[in-house]
Amino acid sequence: EDQVTQSPEALRLQEGESSSLNCSYTVSGLRGLFWYRQDPGKGPEFLFTLYSAGEEKEKERLKATLTKKESFLHITAPKPEDSATYLCAVGILTGGGNKLTFGTGTQLKVEL
Amino acid sequence: GAGVSQSPRYKVAKRGQDVALRCDPISGHVSLFWYQQALGQGPEFLTYFQNEAQLDKSGLPSDRFFAERPEGSVSTLKIQRTQQEDSAVYLCASSLQASSDTQYFGPGTRLTVL
């Protein structure tokens, strides 16, 4: 059974305190590992897609990495505006499309 | 440009009522997905359209749930005889091509069944 597990469930950081979020997965036929950001009352906002082990992508203070069994989202010197829920998902081929199986998310709070 | 839009943003229904949720995908996007997100959980896949064809409906929880996209653009998710367990946020996402992997999500419709 395809499964995505995120840890920790919640994380509280001081501004400037770097950390990493973990996403471990078991899936047959992986078609991409996705990271999204979700703010309260809003839909998920796309951040990154990773396809193969060893791949890395960066955007501002965020860097995503991928191994064969897990992905990390590294947050460097976070700011309060980085506070959000970060969702990890695996893509699975369906009828020519790519349906996403999500983890339960990591709720990040960055304080001054 | 305009993103994915959904309406209504909030819907309150009495148990047993039928509801219809609308999704307007990004113009020209071929693929459209519906997801259900319970409080404190990640979104869960419901169904997938490629143009007007519904190619995967394996995630629909029961035969009370029905989705359509008759002209390959706007989609409607209908829930008949709503139950309290249907209370959730219903998210719509679209992607440019069938083979495109980036899905862009709408703001969701929060359904509360009393």
Is the pLDDT confidence value at A29 over 90? no
In degrees, rounded to 5, the angle at the alpha carbon of residue A81 between the alpha carbons of residues A76 and A82 is: 40
Rounded Cα–Cα distance for residues A95 and B54 (Å): 9
Q: How far, rounded to the nearest angstrom, does the alpha carbon of residue A86 sit from its chain's CA centroid?
A: 5
Query: How many inter-chain contacts (A to B, CB under 8 Å) are there?
Result: 75
Report pLDDT digits (tens) over A65-79. Answer: 999 899 999 999 999
Rounded Cα–Cα distance for residues A94 and B56 (Å): 7
Report pLDDT digits (tens) over B14-57. Answer: 999 999 999 999 999 999 999 999 999 999 999 999 999 999 99
Min Cα separation A89/chain B (Å): 9
SS (H, E, C) A61-88: CEEEEECCCEEEEEECCCCHHHCEEEEE
Min Cα separation B62/chain A (Å): 19
Q: What is the mean pLDDT of chain A?
A: 94
Q: Tokens 């994380």 appear where?
A: A11
- B107–A42 C-beta distance less than 8 A: yes
Is the pLDDT confidence value at B100 over 70? no
